[in-house]
């Protein structure tokens, strides 16, 4: 690996979501602000969508980190659940002890009582669900029923759903139209522009311990931006491959040919074009 070559403490372009490598971008900050405002307004459903690799999971984890102290959070990373398993997963996230033979009614009562206790203590419960486009329609409807839990003044449960654009197609199904109508706030994540790509690359290197001169020049950044369409995951893959190529040559600056070679070797990229 090239860590010693560039004076790095750890890999700067891992594709595993790591909140230690968060780089503030316009779209991510707007999405985070949207969710926080919606939560402060007491809205039941908030939706965040974005293409594959735009950082939805990282945003979800970032949200869980910055929630105010009076919030209780639950995170469901696997949405491919039956309605019953959804209730059990939520009960587990809320640290509830539920009998193995408990039926759906008993599960719902257990959850409702816990939510009432949190509400009485001034705590808001927020559930974040990742990859929601994969959730079965009957489970989406069960999710809506959970959002019915409320007092006369406020919702007992606020739900933030993250998903690919296919989530909008799922929500267009007539059977879940009531859920769709309850989504008062939503945001669509978009790719980084060229200036953001340059900042993103520099910040990721800096967070990994790099302290030298700029590794990615203007033309290589332009090439990476075009090839990745500003998608963070693709940027990470391309930057990693470009650094490997530079390291193999004993150099320290990524040129256009390194960026082009990385793009040619990576599925799902666009043509970098002439620079």
Question: Does residue 156 contact residue 122 with C-beta atoms inside 8 Å?
Answer: no
- Band (pLDDT 50/70/90 cuts) for residue 274 is low
Measure the CA–CA gap between 96 and 53, rounded to whole angstroms.
34
**What tens digit of pLDDT does each residue of 62-113 get?**
999 999 889 999 999 989 999 999 999 999 999 999 888 889 899 999 999 9
Residue ranges, comma separated, of all CATH 1.10.8 domains in the chain are 193-264
Q: Is the pLDDT of residue 257 over 80?
A: yes
The pLDDT, as a whole number, for residue 87 is 94
- Band (pLDDT 50/70/90 cuts) for residue 273 is low
Residue ranges, comma separated, of all CATH 3.40.50.300 domains in the chain are 26-188
Domain 26-188: give its CATH code. 3.40.50.300
Q: List alpha helices for the chain, DSSP H.
A: 3-6, 26-40, 56-66, 83-93, 104-120, 137-146, 166-171, 177-181, 194-207, 218-228, 232-248, 256-264
The pLDDT, as a whole number, for residue 148 is 84
**What tens digit of pLDDT does each residue of 217-240 get?**
999 999 999 999 999 999 999 999
Question: Does residue 181 contact residue 41 with C-beta atoms inside 8 Å?
Answer: no
Q: Which residue has the tokens 């020049």?
A: 217
Domain 193-264: give its CATH code. 1.10.8
The pLDDT, as a whole number, for residue 100 is 85
The pLDDT, as a whole number, for residue 4 is 95
Q: Taking residues 133-143, what's their average pLDDT?
A: 93
- Band (pLDDT 50/70/90 cuts) for residue 184 is confident
Q: Is the pLDDT of residue 203 over 90?
A: yes
Measure the CA–CA gap between 14 and 236, rounded to whole angstroms.
6
Record the pTM: 0.91
């Amino acid at each position: 690996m090239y860590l010693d070559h560039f004076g790095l403490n750890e890999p700067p372009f891992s594709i595993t979501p790591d909140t230690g490598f968060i780089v503030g971008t316009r779209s991510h900050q707007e999405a985070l602000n949207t969710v926080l405002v919606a939560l402060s307004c007491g809205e039941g459903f908030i939706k965040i969508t974005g293409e594959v690799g735009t950082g939805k999971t990282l945003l979800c984890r970032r949200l869980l980190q910055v929630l105010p102290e009076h919030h209780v959070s639950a995170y469901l990373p696997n949405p491919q659940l039956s309605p019953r398993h959804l209730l059990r997963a939520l009960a587990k996230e809320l640290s509830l002890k539920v009998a193995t033979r408990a039926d759906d009614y008993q599960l719902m009562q257990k959850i409702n009582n816990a939510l009432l206790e949190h509400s009485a203590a001034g705590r808001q419960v927020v559930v974040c669900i990742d990859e929601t486009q994969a959730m079965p329609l009957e489970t989406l409807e069960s999710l809506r029923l959970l959002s019915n839990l409320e007092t006369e003044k406020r919702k007992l449960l606020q739900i933030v759903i993250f998903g690919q654009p296919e989530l909008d197609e799922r929500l267009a199904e007539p059977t879940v139209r009531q859920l769709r109508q309850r989504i008062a706030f939503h945001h669509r994540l978009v790719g980084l522009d060229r200036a953001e790509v340059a900042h993103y690359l520099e910040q990721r290197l800096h967070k990994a311990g790099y302290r030298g001169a700029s590794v990615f020049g203007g033309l290589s950044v332009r090439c990476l931006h075009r090839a990745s369409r500003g998608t963070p995951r693709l940027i990470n893959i391309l930057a990693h491959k470009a650094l490997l190529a530079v390291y193999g040559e004993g150099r320290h600056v990524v040129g256009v040919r390194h960026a082009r070679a990385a793009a040619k070797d990576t599925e799902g990229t666009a043509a970098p074009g002439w620079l």
